[in-house]
C-alpha cells in the first residue's frame, strides 16, 4: 500500500527544509553481501525475489514516518530467507509463525467468515472492488509501515495496518498489507498486494475486501510487527 499524504490547507509558515537522509548507509545482507541505501534509520526486514525490504525514512529531523522501501539486489536469485533477529529484536525472525501478539496489539478483526485454510471465492470479489497492474521495478517507491496510526491532532485511532511477506499469495512470493481505515461510515477494510511473477511485479488492490487473508496462516508467510504512530501533518 503506497503512502498517499493528504493535503491540508494552513496559512503559510516558514519552516527550515528537512535534512535529506544520510547517504551510503550499509545494510548487511545474506551471503556476506552488503547494500548501500540513502535512508535514515535504515533497517533490513528481509530479502525477497531479488529485493531487499527495508524500513527507513527519506529524511532526518522531519515529521516523516518510518516507511517500507524496496531496493533491488543485483545478484539475487529467487527466494531468500529473512536474516536472523539481532539483539535489538528489530529484524523479523525467519522461524515461522510470529504468534498472536502482533494481530492482538493491532486489534484487527479478521471476521468469522475468513477462516484460514479455506480458499477465497473469486465470485465474492467484484470487479469494481479489485484492481491489478504490472510494474517492472519497486526501487524508490514508498509503502506504509505496519501499525496503529492516530491522527496527529486529535490522537484518534484512524488506521490499523498489518504487513506480511513471503509465500503470502497462492504459494507465490508476495508482500501483503491488510488495512482498516476509519471513515464517516465506520471502519473500512482494504488490501494491497505485491506479487512477484517470473517476468513482472504485479500490484493488486482490493477495496472493502481482504481475500488474501486466507493465505497468511502459511508458515512461509511472515508478519512484520507493527508500531504505534501518528499520521503525518
38-53 b/e with 16+ CB inside 10 Å = b?
bbbebbbbbbbbbbbb
The domain locations on the chain are 19-230
CB 82 within 8 A of CB 222: yes
- The pTM score is 0.70
pLDDT given at position 131: 63
Give the model confidence (pLDDT) of 144-169 as tens digits.
Answer: 999 999 999 999 999 999 999 999 99
- C-alpha span between 44 and 69 (Å, rounded): 10
Report phi then psi at 34, rounded to 5: -130, 160
Give the model confidence (pLDDT) of 92-118 as tens digits.
Answer: 333 333 333 443 444 554 433 332 333
**Most distant CA pair in the chain: distance in Å?**
55
Question: 215: Cβ–Cβ under 8 A, 6 or more apart, which residues?
Answer: 167, 168, 169, 170, 176, 221
- C-alpha span between 215 and 221 (Å, rounded): 8
CB 162 within 8 A of CB 103: yes
Give the model confidence (pLDDT) of 36-69 as tens digits.
Answer: 998 999 999 999 999 999 999 998 888 899 999 9
Give the model confidence (pLDDT) of 203-229 as tens digits.
Answer: 999 998 899 998 999 999 999 999 999
- For 111, counting Cβ atoms within 10 Å of its Cβ (0-12 exposed, 13-18 middle, 19+ buried), the class is exposed
- C-alpha span between 41 and 44 (Å, rounded): 10
Amino acid at each position: 500500500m503506497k503512502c498517499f499524504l493528504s493535503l491540508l490547507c494552513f496559512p503559510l509558515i516558514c519552516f527550515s527544509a528537512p535534512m535529506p537522509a544520510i547517504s551510503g548507509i550499509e545494510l548487511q545482507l545474506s551471503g556476506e553481501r552488503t547494500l548501500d541505501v540513502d535512508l535514515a534509520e535504515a533497517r533490513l526486514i528481509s530479502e525477497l525475489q531479488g529485493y531487499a525490504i527495508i524500513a527507513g525514512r527519506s529524511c532526518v529531523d522531519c515529521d516523516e514516518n518510518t516507511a517500507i522501501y524496496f531496493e533491488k539486489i543485483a545478484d539475487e536469485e529467487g527466494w531468500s530467507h529473512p536474516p536472523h533477529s539481532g539483539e535489538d529484536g528489530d529484524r523479523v525472525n525467519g522461524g515461522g509463525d510470529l504468534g498472536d501478539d502482533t494481530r492482538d496489539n493491532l486489534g484487527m478483526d479478521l471476521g468469522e467468515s475468513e477462516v484460514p485454510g479455506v480458499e477465497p471465492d473469486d465470485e465474492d470479489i467484484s470487479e469494481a472492488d479489485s484492481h491489478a497492474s504490472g510494474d517492472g521495478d519497486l526501487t524508490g517507491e514508498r509503502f506504509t509501515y505496519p501499525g496503529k496510526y492516530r491522527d496527529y491532532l486529535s490522537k484518534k485511532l484512524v488506521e490499523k495496518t498489518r504487513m506480511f511477506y513471503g509465500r503470502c499469495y497462492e504459494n507465490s512470493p508476495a508482500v501483503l498489507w491488510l488495512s482498516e481505515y476509519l471513515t464517516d461510515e465506520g471502519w473500512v477494510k482494504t488490501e494491497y498486494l505485491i506479487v512477484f511473477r517470473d517476468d513482472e511485479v504485479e500490484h493488486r488492490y482490493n477495496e472493502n475486501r481482504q481475500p488474501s487473508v486466507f493465505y497468511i496462516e502459511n508458515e512461509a508467510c511472515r508478519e512484520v510487527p507493527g508500531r504505534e504512530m501518528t499520521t503525518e501533518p
